[in-house]
Copies of this chain bind each other. A is one copy, B any other.
Amino acid sequence: MLERIRIVLIGTSHPGNVGGTARAMHNMGLEDLALVAPRCEPLTADTISRASGADHIVHGARTAETLEQAVADCTLVVGASARSRTLPWPMITPRELGDRLAEELAGPETRIALVFGREDSGLSNAELQRCHAHVHIPANPDFSSLNLATAVQVLAYECRLAWLAQQEAPAPDTEPAQPLASHEELEHYFAHLERTLIAIGFHDPAQPRQLMARLRRLTLRSRPERMELNILRGILSATEKQASGGTPVDRGEPDPPA
A-side interface residues toward B, CB under 8 Å? 20, 23-24, 26-29, 50, 52-54, 84, 88, 91, 94-95, 137-140, 143-147, 149-150, 153-154, 157, 160-161, 164, 174-175, 197, 199-204, 209-211, 214-215, 218-219, 221-224, 227-228, 231, 234-235, 238-239, 241-243, 245, 247-252, 254-255
CA of A145 to CA of B52 in the docked complex: distance in angstroms? 9
Contact A140 B29 (CB under 8 A): yes
Contact A218 B209 (CB under 8 A): no
Partner of A161, one of B95, B222, B252: B95
A-B contact pairs, 14 of them (CB 8 A): A27-B145, A88-B175, A91-B174, A138-B160, A146-B153, A197-B238, A200-B249, A201-B250, A202-B234, A202-B235, A214-B231, A214-B254, A221-B222, A239-B239
Number of copies: 2
Contact B164 A197 (CB under 8 A): no
Partner of A144, one of B27, B139, B150, B235: B27
CA of A231 to CA of B203 in the docked complex: distance in angstroms? 11
Contact B154 A138 (CB under 8 A): no
